[in-house]
Amino acid sequence: MSNVTEDEALFRDSVLEFAAREIRPHVREMDELAKMPRPLIDKLFELGIMAIEIPEAHGGAGATFFHAVLAVEALSSVDPSVGVLVDVQNTLVVNAVLRWGTDDQKQRFLPKLATGTVGAYALSEAGSGSDAFALTTRAVASGDDFRLTGRKLWITNANEADVFIVFATIDPAAGYRGITAFVVERGAAGFSVGKKEDKLGIRASSTCELLFDDCLVPRANMLGEAGKGYKVAIETLNEGRIGIGAQMVGLAQGALNHAIAYTKDRRQFGKAIADFQGVQFQIARAATELEAARLMVYHAARLRDAREPFLMPAAMCKLFAADMAEHVSSLAVQLFGGYGYVKDYPVEKLYRDAKIGQIYEGASNLQLQTIAKQILG
């Protein structure tokens, strides 16, 4: 695969080997039960891929954002549900603490996130999806604490997480300039995890509502400055979109791998269907689209690691990779024929998983809007 060093390729291959050994045997069961076994999550921590950018001094791998992208891609080629668990942990939660956390917050939370604590990122609400800053969750100062009241929806990793990055407004009249980020720990008084969504795809990845009923959060858990939560959200989500691009690239690679193997084995009219030019051309086009998406994701990740502007490349790679994954996974189902439509074969699940790429962490229309603003000024 393109544009990786020897060390990065070895890292990617080690994650691929882990995914084949530890995840693949459980993919169908996890999808049917809509649950990820805790022992598997523990193995992700043991492998070090839940703490890729956390410094070694805090128990992490001390590696790069690009390594996180490679891990998400590799895992997603087997199960995108596991890919997004690792993605949210690294590109959203860990990055937010690394960039915006105080020394005290880093000392308290990074070792936990490196060794066994799953994180979640709570921005969306019923009335603030694409319009993320229309949120109504309120934070009211109370001595050395804040009291949070409100409800969050569509929160990935919520069932498994013990640390949540939560966005609330300290001044509704100030609009987006009132939004503030907080670190909320499971077990905080007034905080609970509510309904778990029954989803079309990535079913083993939990998506739940969060309830805050006068939830007490120490002032020391404010992440970044008061009223600057919008900056925390924008900057981390820009990175998260690269991670979702990687998830979609991995998903498409997995679907294409299955399709290629099947077309070589499946015989019609006396020969393998891979020998028909009509099939060959479809696979060639899919592989070309996939490689283009991969290069876009890698380019955006390299820019981020180099501390160069990456807003438009991030939006472009997520937009293109999400569309590509839907197309490639659909082609895989088509090439499998009737078998592609049943759960005994893996491609129908990847087809269901692909749709979310055009929806979460910024719907495709928002990516188009971002790209257009950058181009047109």
Number of H helices and E strands in the chain, helices first, is 12, 10
- CA-nearest of 130, 92, 126 to 366 is 130
- CA-nearest of 110, 118, 111 to 206 is 118
Which of 239, 326, 348, 361 is catalytic? The answer is 361
Task: Give the total residue count for the chain.
Answer: 377
Please say if 185 is a catalytic residue: no
Q: What is the DSSP track for 212-236? A: EEEEEEEGGGEESSTT-HHHHHHHH
Q: How far is CA 369 from CA 223, 322, 363, in A?
A: 28, 16, 10
- CA-nearest of 352, 322, 355 to 27 is 352
Q: Quick one: CA dihedral 246, 250, 252, 253, positive or negative?
A: positive
Tell me the C-alpha distance between 73 and 79, whole Å. Answer: 10
Query: On the CB side of 59, how many CA atoms lie within 13 Å of its CA?
Result: 17
Tell me the C-alpha distance between 363 and 37, whole Å. Answer: 29
Tell me the C-alpha distance between 115 and 47, whole Å. Answer: 10
Provide the annotated active-site residues.
361
